[in-house]
A and B are shown apart, each in its own frame.
Chain A
Amino acid sequence: MKRKLALVIAALLLCAFVFGASAEGKKLKFGYLVNDMSHEWYQNIAKGAKARADELGIELKISDAAMDVAKQISQAENMITDGVDVLIITPIDVKALANVMAEAKEAGIPVVSESNVIPGAETYVGIDNLTGGKRAGYWFAEYAKLHNIDPKILIVGLPAFEDCRLRVEGFKAAMDEVGLKYEVMQEVDGAGSKETSLKVAQDALTANPEVNVIFGINDNSTSGGMAAYKEGGLDESKLTAIGFGFEGVVGRELLLGNTAYKAAVAMFPDYMGVSIIDAAYKVANGETLPANYESGTVVITNDNFAEFYTKNGDEYATNFDAIRALMDK
Chain B
Amino acid sequence: MTVKTSNRQSLLRKFGQSEISVLLVALIVLSVVTYLLKPVFLSQRNIMNTLRQISLSAICGFGLTLIILAGEIDLSVGSQQAVAGIVSVLVLNSTKSVLLAILAALLAGVVVGAINGLIVTKLKINSLIATLGTMAIWRGASMVYTQAVSIQSSVDAFQQLATGFIGPIPNAVVMAVVIFAAIYFLLNYTTFGRYIYVIGGNQDAARFAGLPVARVKMAVYIIGSVLTMFAGVLLASRMASAQPTAGTGLEMIVIASIILGGVSLSGGIGSIVGATIGMVILGVLQNALTLMDVSSFWQDISRGVVIILAVALDVLRKERVAKSLISDQKLAREEVK
Residues of chain A having any CB pair with chain B under 8 Å: 38-40, 43, 159-160, 186, 188-189, 191, 193-195, 198-200, 202-204, 206-207, 220, 224, 227, 230-233, 248-250, 253
Contacts and interface: CB of A to CB of B under 8 A. Distances in A.
Contact of B296 (A43, A159, A206, A207): A159
A193 to B, nearest CB: 5
Contacts of A220: 150, 243
A250 B150 contact: yes
A327 B246 CA distance: 37
B144 A206 contact: no
Given A188-B296, A198-B239, A202-B53, A232 B45 contact: yes
A193 B45 contact: no
A199 B53 contact: yes
B248 A227 contact: no
Contacts of B324: none
A250 to B, nearest CB: 6
Given A40-B148, A159-B296, A227-B239, A233 B45 contact: yes
B203 interface: no
Contact of B290 (A38, A160, A203): A203
B239 A195 contact: yes
B243 A204 contact: no
Given A195-B245, A202-B53, A206-B46, A38 B144 contact: yes
Interface residues of B, number: 36
Contacts of B52: 231
Interface string B205-230: 00000000000000000000000000
B168 to A, nearest CB: 11
A249 B239 contact: no
Main secondary structure of the interface of A (DSSP, over half): helix
Given A38-B144, A202-B49, 18 more contacts: A38-B143, A40-B147, A40-B148, A159-B295, A194-B150, A195-B245, A199-B53, A200-B290, A203-B46, A203-B290, A204-B290, A204-B291, A206-B45, A207-B40, A207-B293, A231-B163, A233-B45, A250-B152
B149 A249 contact: yes
Contacts of B8: none
A194 B241 contact: yes
A207 B286 CA distance: 13
Contacts of A202: 49, 53
B248 A193 contact: yes
A82 to B, nearest CB: 28
Nearest to B289: A203
Contact of A227 (B238, B246, B287, B297): B238
Best-buried of A191, A194, A195 by chain B (most CB within 10 Å)? A195
11 contacts: A189-B297, A194-B150, A195-B245, A195-B247, A206-B45, A207-B40, A207-B293, A224-B239, A231-B49, A231-B163, A249-B149
Contacts of A253: 152
A39 B148 CA distance: 6
Contacts of A39: 148
Interface in B120-150: 143-144, 147-150
B10 interface: no
Interface in B224-268: 235, 238-241, 243, 245-248
